[in-house]
A = this chain, B = another copy of it.
């Protein structure tokens, strides 16, 4: 009998993981993953970057680096983030092993077992698993089309005991809900949070992948406002704008939070991969990041539009969805009470997969939604796969 810690007894494998093996089977059309398209990686640029490396840079790539990140990348990334309007001078930047690590570190910095944290319903499952690993109690606030339900947020803020340790939200091209938070909702959130001493984790990994430039003003980040009296902890990632295989993300946070987080990171993996950091640094300094993200906006927009077209053509009228304006996902709302797991089983029989709604529900219950990704499927696969998804839905509802 192995004596495991009580604190991890509740960690469970989620349905989505069991699906991932199916999702990558060669004959399966997968709308399940949240990864960039394999065919879209900037291989030639990576080659150019590799060939440009000096022996000294290769030594740096193979050596330990500072816990907070390689100085050269910290500088180029700060410049990149400053161009987005983020307050890099009045905050501290830390490179992390993916943005999930940044979220995990902050959850660890803020929560003791039994503490409450405010999350969206639905929410990014990676963050939920990090919060569960810290034994936080998830208090969910439902999403509407333009962000969190403000009345519900206010109610949770008033009634949740003990006082929540932080609020976690994803402002742009939400995973899984596909929405953008409106400027007005963010303004109201900041208003509600003022004076409560509840930091915000603003997890923004998709914002470079907008389809419509006119959305940019609406997408203004809380961290860009950085309001007096609220600690906004901003996280981002190279996963969607270069490659998740590098495992590189970052946090931009107030000094005092940074200090605590650096100590936690030190105990986790000492530093993030130097090889990846050297490449990411060159990717920014060479200006490749600007041309590549422009290309990706176009590529994912084509996929997103193919998805909208296919869904509009094939979905039964009782199923609705928000038309994606960026990012990787569409989020289908099924007739109330439908069991998406039953649809999934049918879909797998037909040779296609997606992810069920309850996977993203902090309470693990609400299942009349489904996430259908268009990130790693081209227009042709979308045209072939969505009719199968629609058939599976019709078989069940």
A residues lining the B interface (CB < 8 Å) = 1-8, 11-13, 17, 20, 33, 35-36, 38-39, 41, 43, 46, 50, 55, 58-67, 97-98, 100-101, 104, 108-113, 115, 126, 129-130, 132-133, 165, 197, 199, 231, 239, 242-247, 254, 256-257, 260, 263-264, 266-276, 279
Instruction: Tell whether, in the assembled complex, residue B264 and residue A3 are in contact, meaning their CB atoms are under 8 Å apart.
Output: no
Q: Chain B residue with minimal CB distance to A278? A: B245
Tell me, in angstroms, the Cα distance from A166 to B38 when the chains sit together: 42
**Seed contacts A38-B63, A104-B268; 5 additional CB < 8 Å A-B pairs:** A2-B231, A3-B197, A65-B245, A98-B270, A100-B270
Q: Is the CB of B256 within 8 A of A273?
A: no
Q: Are A5 and B130 in contact (CB under 8 A)?
A: no
B64–A108 contact, CB under 8 A? no
Q: Are A35 and B58 in contact (CB under 8 A)?
A: no
20 A-B residue pairings within 8 Å (CB atoms)? A3-B165, A3-B197, A5-B112, A6-B112, A11-B264, A12-B263, A62-B243, A63-B243, A65-B245, A97-B97, A97-B273, A98-B269, A100-B268, A100-B269, A101-B269, A129-B267, A132-B267, A133-B264, A245-B275, A273-B275
Closest Cβ–Cβ distance, residue A115 to chain B (whole Å) = 7
CB nearest neighbor in B for A20: B66
| Complex CA distance for A104 and B174, rounded to whole angstroms | 31
Q: How far is the CA of A244 from the CA of B46 in the complex (A)?
A: 21
Known A5-B110, A246-B275; contact A36-B12, beta-carbon cutoff 8 A? no
When the two chains form their complex, are residues A273 and B260 in contact, meaning their CB atoms are under 8 A apart? no
A267 touches B5 (CB 8 A): no
B-side contacts of A100, CB under 8 Å: 267-270
Is the beta-carbon distance between B268 and A101 smaller than 8 angstroms?
yes
In contact, A263 and B13 (Cβ under 8 angstroms):
yes
A41-B62, A273-B247, A275-B246 known; A263-B8 Cβ under 8 A: yes
Q: Which residues of B contact A274 (CB under 8 A)?
A: 244-247
